[in-house]
Amino acid sequence: MPFLLALALYILGEILKSHFPDLGTNGPQMLIWGFFVSTVVLFHGTSTINSLDHMIGSRRYDTPDTSRNNAFLALITLGEGWHNNHHHYPISARQGFYWWEIDMTYYLLVIMSWLGIIWDLRPVPEKVRADNRVRDGVP
């Protein structure tokens, strides 16, 4: 699949170059920005969560690891920064357990469920949100 995506971006860039030259794009440019740069940014975002979100942030739940919630990382990774929540209840598609915890990935999944593209989203039960809480998010 990644190879097909890279090929499609290159071909699209070449089509745009020949049919819409005023756009100033081409196959190599689409390949670099649409595939290589986006892949590197995605990799760094994932690595950031798996490293910084185990060092910086607050712990709402007493989990057997060092996971933390970090609002800034949640914003730039579309919700993945609510890492302590995720470690507390990993089977939920929702990582922002409360309305003020912005989780763009979950919102997109909800829209896809309304359209019938996906189904069986697991909400976070109230009992799960209440279990193993750390007092005021302090470890």
pLDDT tens digits, one per residue of 28-38: 999 999 999 99
User: d(Cα 21, Cα 17) in Å, to the nearest integer?
Assistant: 5
* pTM confidence score: 0.75
CA distances from 15 to 11, 23, 44 (A): 6, 11, 31
User: d(Cα 17, Cα 84) in Å, to the nearest integer?
Assistant: 46
Contacts of 53 (CB under 8 A, 6+ apart): 67, 68, 69, 70, 73, 80, 81, 83, 84
The structural domains of the chain, with segments of one domain joined by +, span 1-52, 60-139
pLDDT tens digits, one per residue of 113-138: 999 999 999 889 999 998 888 865 55
Residue from 101, 89, 5, 85 nearest 53 by CA: 85
